[in-house]
Structure 1
Amino acid sequence: MKNLSALFLGILLLLGTTSLKSQNVWDLQKCFDYAIENNIRIKQQALNTAYNQNLVKQAKDDKLPNLNAQVSNDYSFGRSLTYDNTYDNINSTSLAGYLGTNVTLFNGNTLNNTVKQRQLDLEATLHDLQKTKDDIMLAIAAEYLQILFAEEVILVSEANIEVTKQQINRTQQLVEAGSLAKGALLEIEAQLAREELQLVNNQNSIQLAYLNLYQFLELPIAESFKVEKPKLPDLKANLTMMNAFDVFQNAIHIRPEIKAAQLRVQSAMKQLEIAKGSRYPSLEFGANYYNQYNNQYKDINGDRIDFGDQLKNNRRSSLGLTLNIPIFNRFQIKNSMSNSELQITDYKYQLQAARNVLRKDIELVYTNALAALNRYISTEKAVNSMKEAFRYTEEKFNVGMVNSVEYNQSKNNLTVAQSDLLQAKYEYIFRAKILDFYNGVPITL
């Protein structure tokens, strides 16, 4: 029976190893690339960009002449106008055609300003698209590092379990030899149960971190992957960071949300110029062609005029200029200018608000990064001290100088310190990467 169990366990381990080998491994850049191609928020923002591209194209096309044609077919009963411009009681059928074109020659530079405004709006949406990509990449980097952190915590948990199992074996021998009471063994076994439960919780945490990452990527769970474990930087080599003020001074010149806000201020200024342009006269050029056929038209001899002759005789063309002079339009122009000025002020407020948010975010990230670094340095010293303290406690426990409660307390203190050290390490790495990102450095691991 034991042989069968061992064989079954071996098969499971072999299958698990094969599955891991065949499973995809993604690095952080591959996660970024997949998200940019598949994330719904990015796709929606890309649609908004395409919409604004169409608005720019339409604004340019509005400067072109138009061309329209019209054909009408009428049936007249009773008194109708005849070919010699008199009225007679006849029923007739007439066919008329019209072709006309108009082009704006001048309208207070409204068309040109509209094109410039739409181009500014398009540039703003392109920066909005980049901001959306940046937000998704930051979220992905956070989940990626959370997975790496969870994996290291699992390694710590597994190492602690192994130490506890070894201590159980030693304690068992001491109990059998009469050097320790059986209660000490029971305490160590209870400690092992708690550590195994914590390992399960840590394994659940890593599964949740993977789930969050898959959701940011819009990736089905059936297409899951494992993250590549990079070589992380040595924190002691990064004891200095660029201060928050310098990062902010660089960020306001490169961050897409700031550029988008600046472009919207410029767009609102163009809207004011468009409103002012409505105060000026507009000049249009037009050309028209008209022709008509009537089945009852007759010449002086009473003979009906055929279709071809009527088209030659009835054709009419015209060329002309139309000047529209605004005199009074119920204060629409004045109110439009006032609204445009209010819009400029509002967008300036939005620009200042975007700068304030960016400054606060950078200051918060810098403060958290510095705190995490200091916490890492102090915790690292604490871990080294607790390792030595635990080793000393373990030696005394083995000779019966301390009880199992003191032993477990010392071991728990070491475990907590190791977890705190890992947390401080990954928090500092993430915050430092965000600072670099605000400073124009791409996120890499």
Structure 2
Amino acid sequence: MPSNAQSKKWTLTECVNYALEHNISIKQTELDIKTSTIDKRGAVGSFLPSLNGNASHSWNIGLNQDITTGLLQNQTTQFTSVGANVGVDIYKGLQNQNTLRRANLSIVAAKYQLLKMQEDIALNVANAFLQVLFNKENLKVQADQMSINQKQLIRSQELVNAGTIPKGDLLDVKATLASDNQKVITAENSLLISKLSLAQLLQLDNFQDFDVVDDTEAKDENSILMQTPIAIYDKAKEQRTELKIAQTNLEIAEKNVAIAKGALQPTLRGFYNFNTRISYADIALRDNSGNIIGTQAPPAFFSQFGDNKGQSFGAQLTIPVFNGFAAKNNVERSQVNLEKSKIAVEQQDLDLQRNVYTAFTDAKGALNAHESSIVALESRQEAYHYAKEKFDVGLMNSFDLNQSQTLLSTAQSDVLRTKYDYIFKIKILEFYFGIPIIKN
């Protein structure tokens, strides 16, 4: 955890940026992009000629005919051979071209996958961040409520001493105070757990000293609700990453079909071979009659290298006739995968439409719920103040006052819950409209 993480409070923007930089899943996806880039380099290499060299040195030990006596005797002879061959594809059913196009598409798909993961992580971080904010404010509400009841306990003791209210009312207040203490403990635990969830998303170790600050704004957030669902859907179709991934995978499937069909066509390959050999055995000297009259040392190494060289070149045409239906099955398999990719695009489009309409409905519902909770809170506050005044003059017992306090506390929690639920639902809707989770 950064050393300054304990001394400062994190904003939503800082949390999202930190998660995008340190998340393990994102790092793995970045490696997938590198793998796709390597695959592209291999596809480019298929257009280049292949060049291979070879060299060997051998020892022949055993009975060999002596070139001077003609007799067999144990001898050791040595030979060196050197060669090279070059090959290049002239025509291969356009497989190399389609493989390169597929490699380019694979890089695009990998980048879309990375972007999709970044978007998902940003959403998850935003959700966890808002949950921490809710739990922080909810803890404050519960603590304030307990503070009020502590003051009420003192006031109730005074009223009991004055004989204004019975002692049973004082016991009710004490029971309520104990319940408030339990609510504070529950709120503290909820806050701790939400901090843990957010810290884990950020890959942080020390979550107990980790804290956030509210940099979100609920006001004017409903501007996105001025759009129609169909307008948001049309915008999402142009920008949503998951749809682009499906469309790119469809293009990759089309290239796979083309590559498989290319394997059914003849292939033409050009080749060039070079070889030479060097012998270390003595050479027989002959007279004009062909009789061996002696031996001489073999020619120099590089002289033999040039004298004994040989070359061949040409073209090789390969026509696929029958290969156990392997090529045909590959074509059919790739065509099936192409149909599956088409269906995946259609399904992704339907899912996107459903998600947009659901997000729009959820956002409007969250706005209505938040506005209603504010109205309810105002009513509960007035009701509580009225009940408090009656209790202070002995016209209301502690049970009824506690009921009013409980309803007020519930209304305060509802305002907080609906506020952050509304902010998150709006961010989801903006997300589909192309507005980023954070404004950099």
What TM-score, normalized by structure 1, do the two folds share?
A: 0.89
Task: Report SS of the residue matched to 2:311.
Answer: strand
Unaligned runs of at least 5 residues, structure 1: 1-18
Map of 1:143 onto structure 2:
128
1:430 corresponding residue in structure 2: 424
Deviation at 1:110, TM superposition (A): 1.0
Deviation of residue 355 (structure 1)? Answer: 2.3
1:327-338 superposed matches below 5 A: 327-338=321-332
| Deviation sequence 1:163-218 (CA, Å, 0-9, x none) | 22222222222111111112212211221221122112111111111100110111
Q: Distance in 2 between matches of 1:205 and 1:82?
A: 98
Do the aligned partners of 1:79 and 1:87 also contact (CA within 8 Å) in 2? no
1:75 matches 2:75: no
More divergent stretch after superposition (25-34 vs 137-146): 25-34
Q: Is the 8 A contact 2:373 2:415 kept in 1?
A: yes
CA distance in 2, matches of 1:42, 1:237: 32
In the alignment, which residue of structure 2 is the partner of 1:255? 240
TM alignment of 1:339-418, pairs within 5 A: 339-418=333-412
Query: Deviation digits for residues 347-383 of structure 1, max 9, x if unmatched?
Result: 1122222223323332332222222211112221111
Q: Give the Cα separation in 1 of the matches to 2:66 and 2:269.
A: 35
Equivalent position SS for 2:109: helix
Q: Counterpart amino acid of 2:23?
A: N
- Matched to 2:325, the amino acid is F
- Give 2:110's match in structure 1, choosing from 113, 120, 125: 125
Q: CA deviation at 1:418?
A: 1.3
Change (3 A) 1:82 1:144: farther
Match of 2:44 among 25, 38, 60: 60
Q: Is the 8 A contact 2:6 2:209 kept in 1?
A: no
Counterpart selection for 2:320 from 304, 316, 326? 326
Cα distance change, pair 22–120 in 1 and its aligned pair in 2 (3 A) = closer
Does the CA-based 8 Å contact 2:224-2:429 persist in structure 1? no
Partner of 2:11: 27
Map of 2:298 onto structure 1? 305
Measured in 2, the distance between the counterparts of 1:120 and 1:347 equals: 14
Q: How far off is 1:266 after superposition?
A: 0.6
Q: Distance in 2 between matches of 1:396 and 1:269?
A: 79
How far the C-alpha of 1:57 sits from its partner, in A, is: 1.0
2:412 partner letter: Q
SS in 2 for 1:221: coil
Matched residues in 2 for 1:166 and 1:372: separation? 35
CA contact (8 A) 2:79 2:277 kept: yes
Residues 299 and 39 of structure 1: CA distance in aligned 2, closer, same or farther (over 3 Å): same
Who is 2:290 aligned against? Answer: none
Distance 1:122 1:130, change over 3 A: same
CA distance in 2, matches of 1:158, 1:224: 20
Contact 2:225 2:360 survives alignment (8 Å): no
Which residue does the alignment assign to 1:152?
137
Letter in 2 for 1:156: V
Q: 1:228 to 1:299 in 2, by over 3 A?
A: farther
Corresponding letter in the other structure for 1:304:
A
- Counterpart amino acid of 1:132? M
Corresponding residue pairs, total? 425
Match of 2:258 in 1: 273
* Structure 2 unaligned blocks of 5 or more: 287-294
Q: What CA distance in whole angstroms lies between the structure 2 residues aligned with 1:78 and 1:271?
A: 57
Corresponding residue number in structure 2 for 1:201: 186
Deviations 1:269-295, CA, capped at 9 Å, x for gaps: 111111222232222222222111122
2:192–2:208: 8 Å Cα contact kept in structure 1? no
1:226 aligns to what SS in structure 2? coil
Determine which of 157, 161, 176 is the counterpart of 1:191: 176
CA shift, 1:22, in A, is 6.3
Aligned partner of 1:16 in structure 2 is none
Counterparts in 2 of 1:264 and 1:82: CA distance versus 1, 3 Å? farther
